[in-house]
Chain A
Amino acid sequence: MFGAGPLVFCSHNGNSASADGVAAWLEWAGFRFDPFAVLDAALDPHLSEYLVGHEVFAQIWGDHISWVFAPPGGGKTSLRISVSRACWIGQETNRPFPIPYTPPFLSWGNASPSLEDHLGALAQAAAITLFLATAYRPHWFFRLDKHRQQEVRNAFHQNLPGPLPYYLERCRQTGNVDTLRRALDPSFILRDPPKSVTLLEWCDALDKGPNSFSPLSPPDRWHQMRTLLLDVLEFPVVYILADGFDGAPETAENPLSVVNCLASLIPHAERWADERVFLKAFLPADTPNLFEKKFPQLIAPAYVSTVNWTPALLAEVIRRRVYVATEGAFGSLDAISSPALRDVETLLAKVVPPVPREMLVLTRQVLECHTQLHGTSGLIDERDVESAVEKYKKDTHKRG
């Protein structure tokens, strides 16, 4: 597909010398950071800044039920994390409270959970998120009166996966929120963790009061969490962000099993919406017809978003990252390519399967080839792209 000329193969990518070379070239080219290095959306601190397909995000964001359909690797988790991060900006409780909800099939032991199963899991997911959030923002807890502080304590006792004193003790030992984050949800990152002394005060304050409780039923636990979030802590709304169906063996291969998994939960979504709790589900691309058939009233077209990765949109993934990483200096690899190349991103997008991750892998490959062929300066040229494409195809073939 590319012009004639001697083909030069790049050596194996991913080693540290290669990474150093790319980093040095990016710096030469005017990048402030490497926007192609992190392939796991959850670990990318800039994810929300270089979101593409803004219309999909705009459709999801808001106080309504949302259904997002996309293929595996098609950006569902990126969108879910972006929604979550948009909820956590700032120091106040005046933004939505997000509950990341990945159905815990292992603990249920089946793939068709009852409503009780869901409610118990939701209460636990909400408690984990709130526990971590108040560890980062202890002032939310401190400013409550004693009675309300006790309600928070009760909810943690009832709903955290392990005993509250155990988590508090671990936190005391390190004086660092990271201990809790790693134990409960490594993807949970908020700006401005508290100083150790404040964190220890929070641990001590939470450790007061009785430690034994009669266990509540899952519906009561969910009701308790909901009341806590909306009435006690005064979050305006709660978003339940259901995701992870592509990655779970129980649902990855069979679209009907995704519908079966959510079948007991979805009928309650409308009533919950009236109570300011909004379900936002990030679902596999092969399930919309099944959901529409089973829940024709609920899957309203206005709240359905489908992510279709066209070459144009994939090209935008790279352009947006370039724009953010160069602080708006330029928005395409064209700016740092020889005149022999134009619309580099679309060239690359036509080579890869239609998922953003592959686009990032190939782009990174272009940069590695460039640094191997030309060193850590100079414009990207045809040879870099040709070599990268050949290498990418060989690697893809090996991966099967």
Chain B
Amino acid sequence: MINATQLNYSPDKFVDREEELTELEQRARALLEGRNGHGVLIFIGERGVGKTWLRAHWREQLRRQKVPMVWIDLREYTGKDPTWAVADIIRKVSTATKGPDEGLGADLAEMSRNLFAHLRKTLLQEKGFILFIDHVYESEWAMLPLLEDYLLAPLSVEPRVLIALAGRGRLYPWKTPELGVKANLIEVKPFSDLRFTQWQLERQAPQAVGEAPEIHTITRGNPLANYLLALRGVNTGLDWSLEGLLATIPEDHRRKVREYVEALCVLRDFDEERIPAMLAIYYDDPSYQNWMYAQARRIREELVRWALAHWDTEKRSYVLDRIIRDIAEQFLRQQRPDKWEALQKAAFNLYTRWTQEYPRTRERWQQEAKYHQQQLQMTPDQSPVEKRD
């Protein structure tokens, strides 16, 4: 197994994001100058698109500007009791704003009241602060309503507080308008222009600048995938890149999860009804065809849990994250072409059968069968990334 690597943030290796940074800087300046800079920012974007780097760069700027900030990472609370977790976060906000650590209260309601009494007396009278909460949408939903009620909702209307939330996965249905319908979404997108990929590689992997056009075509400008692919080169780096993209998954889960991703990556969308057919071909084991729904659901839950797949509201089905699917399919096509072809054929056969079995939804399955037929007819030099969507 390859040990994946990720490049740690460094200001001199940072590329682009001018638009996002300008908005963030304006907000911070407004806070510092006592103007109305409050509100809620929500960073969203696919895996490896650069959210972490953008946040790190912004944090660096804020530190230079001496803007008071409190930085919370919800990953630290995974598996913890939600009430304890939110109590701990309230304590952290209190101590970070020079308030009391102990004696805030016996329950969350009391702690929340006392925190606000402290903030109103001190920080919010003179200057504001920025509260940054990371990995929000990867968190358990049991914790988020408590966080909303006792910290985020009351803070979200304070005129001298800017809240920034970041995460990837299932968007949480906040009931506070300032966190939901009135929040500002900052969607961090892949580099749309080849030039940015070139600049990135010049700073992070100069040996691969010559391969930038090919890399950019495969990754469609995803900075993490650009970097990973550049380290090993297009011809041999896909395996390494896929491993790197899955690096956040604990090692004891990673191998299985990667196999599921590879088995499903040829599909444009999937659900529990399609998982057994694809696993049967991927593992060359027809017994998967007899899987019960609950068994397939465990696979789907695993992929959603690690934020590799999500429910797509337009397709009304699950989709793998775009970059994960792109790299996994390219890897299969290049390194394991027989498997790729077998999976495409399995998908084609499944959808063709459904076209016959289910007259009401025939058109929908016909489209999918046609797509897989086209994929099988493509010559090896035609990139599935370019042609399939």
Contact = CB atoms under 8 A, between A and B. Distances in A.
Nearest to B292: A377
A183 interface: no
B182 interface: yes
B112 to A, nearest CB: 5
A331 B313 contact: yes
A191 B113 CA distance: 14
A324 interface: yes
Interface in B343-387: 354, 357-361, 364-365
A350 interface: no
Interface string A100-115: 0000000000000000
B255 interface: no
Instruction: Report which residue of A90, A236, A319, A330 has the largest number of chain B beta carbons within 10 angstroms of its beta carbon.
Output: A90
Contacts of B154: 89-92, 94-95
B148 interface: yes
Contacts of A319: 313, 316
Nearest to A315: B316
A49 B361 contact: no
A124 B301 CA distance: 52
Contacts of B321: none
Interface string A63-96: 0000000000000000000100110011110110
A379 interface: yes
Interface string B304-315: 100000010100
Interface stretch (B168-176, B190-198, B204-212, B281-289): B168-176
Contacts of A324: 173
A341 interface: yes
Contact of A90 (B112, B141, B301, B358): B112
B109 A49 contact: no
A3 B360 contact: yes
Given A91-B109, A94-B154, A335-B271, A343 B316 contact: yes
Contacts of B297: 30
Contacts of A92: 113, 116, 154
Contacts of B170: 327-329
Given A89-B148, A329-B304, A323 B177 contact: no
A341 B361 contact: yes
Contact of A86 (B175, B316, B317, B360): B175
Nearest to B171: A328
A139 B112 CA distance: 12
A330 B158 CA distance: 34
B175 A49 contact: yes
Contacts of A30: 297
A340 B358 contact: yes
A55 B180 CA distance: 11
A390 B280 CA distance: 39
B247 interface: no
A340 B357 contact: yes
Interface in B147-176: 148-150, 153-154, 157-158, 169-173, 175-176
B361 A340 contact: yes
Contacts of A334: 271, 316-317
B293 interface: yes
A339 B354 contact: yes
A58 interface: yes
Nearest to B140: A327
Contact of A89 (B107, B116, B149, B272): B149
B96 interface: no
Given A329-B301, A329-B311, A334-B317, A341 B360 contact: yes
A191 B83 CA distance: 14
Contact of B182 (A3, A58, A94, A343): A58
Given A89-B149, A91-B109, A328-B171, A342 B364 contact: yes
Nearest to A55: B181
Contact of A339 (B116, B176, B361): B361
Nearest to A85: B175
B273 interface: yes
A92 B112 CA distance: 9
Contacts, number: 116
A57 B311 contact: no
A225 to B, nearest CB: 22
Contacts of B317: 334-335
A239 interface: no
A61 interface: yes
B354 A94 contact: no
Contacts of A341: 360-361
B162 to A, nearest CB: 16
A136 to B, nearest CB: 10
B311 A331 contact: yes
Contacts of A82: 175
B360 A328 contact: no
B360 A340 contact: yes
A398 interface: no
A222 interface: no
B223 to A, nearest CB: 26
Interface string A308-345: 00000000000110011001111110110011111100
Contacts of A340: 357-358, 360-361
Contacts of B157: 94-95, 236
A398 to B, nearest CB: 29
Chain A CB within 10 A, most for which of B149, B175, B301, B357? B175
Given A91-B154, A94-B158, A57 B181 contact: yes
A274 interface: no
A202 interface: no
B360 A382 contact: yes
A86 B176 contact: yes
B316 A342 contact: yes
Interface string A357-400: 00000000000000000000111001000000000000000000
A61, A327, A328, A339 pick with most chain B CB within 10 angstroms? A339
A305 interface: no
Interface in A36-69: 48-50, 54-55, 57-58, 61
A61 B173 contact: no
A231 interface: no
A90 B364 contact: no
Contact of B316 (A49, A54, A332, A339): A332
A378 B297 CA distance: 12
A192 interface: yes
B128 to A, nearest CB: 14
Interface string B252-295: 00000000000000000001110000000000000000000100
A187 to B, nearest CB: 16
Contact of B361 (A323, A329, A342): A342
A54 B293 CA distance: 34
A376 to B, nearest CB: 13
Contacts of B150: 90-91
Given A58-B177, A339-B354, 16 more contacts: A30-B297, A86-B177, A89-B148, A91-B113, A192-B107, A323-B311, A329-B304, A331-B316, A334-B316, A335-B311, A335-B316, A339-B273, A339-B358, A339-B361, A340-B360, A342-B316
In the A-B complex, the 5 residue pairs with the smallest Cβ-Cβ separation, listed nearest first, are: A328-B170, A48-B175, A90-B154, A58-B181, A89-B153
